């Protein structure tokens, strides 16, 4: 049984900035079904997760600020559309199991 991992995702920007949609969403592996928790554990162990292009955002692209917390430490990464694959997968899991923070 691996350590609990908490992932929060804040989506910002896009063609219109809606105040009601910019609240961060947080998911903990403790609250996920086992397969999904395993999936998150694998994704956050992938160093490519934090390897995102450093370019400034293109017009109307949404930004995704993802914070991964486990074992008392946390790491945050911000990416813009189109989001690279491992981070995209992690964001998808969080959005499937959204629970307002």
Partner 1 sequence: MRLLCTILPPHLTDAVARNGGPAEREAILDTLAVDRSLVAMRMHSRLIPSALATAHTGLARTICDAKNSESLPGGEVRGEGDIAIDDITVTEAYDGLGATYSLFSAAYGRDSVDDEGLPLLATVHYGSRYDNAFWNGSQMVFGDGDGELFNRFTVALDVIGHELTHGVTQDEAGLIYQNQPGALNESLSDVFGSLVKQHALGQTAEAADWLIGAGLFTDRVRGVALRSMKAPGTAYDDPVLGKDPQPARMSDYVQTSRDNGGVHLNSGIPNRAFYLAAATLGGYAWERAGRIWYESMRSAKVRPTTGFARFAGVTVDVAGQLFGVGSAEQQAIRGAWNEVEVLP
Residues at the contact surface with Zn ion, assessed by CB under 5 A: 59-60
Q: Pick from partner 1, Zn ion, none: which does 55 bind, CB < 5 to 8 A by kind?
A: partner 1
Nearer to partner 1, 21 or 45 (CB): 21
CB of 4 to partner 1, least distance (A): 28
Residue 69 CA to residue 7 CA, distance in Å, equals 6
DSSP bridge pairs for 5:
70
Residue nearest to Zn ion (CB): 60
Binding residues for partner 1 (CB under 8 A): 12-22, 55-62, 81-83, 88
97 binds, among Zn ion, partner 1, none (CB under 5 to 8 A by kind): none
């Amino acid at each position: 049984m691996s350590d609990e991992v908490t992932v929060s995702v804040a989506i910002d920007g896009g063609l219109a900035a809606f105040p009601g949609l910019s609240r961060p969403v947080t998911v903990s592996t403790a609250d996920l079904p086992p397969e999904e928790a395993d999936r998150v554990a694998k994704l956050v162990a992938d160093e490519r997760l934090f390897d995102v292009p450093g370019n400034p955002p293109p017009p109307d692209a949404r930004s995704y600020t993802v914070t991964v917390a486990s074992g008392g430490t946390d790491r945050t990464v911000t990416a813009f559309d189109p989001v690279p694959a491992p981070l995209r997968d992690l964001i998808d899991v969080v959005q499937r199991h959204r629970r307002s923070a």
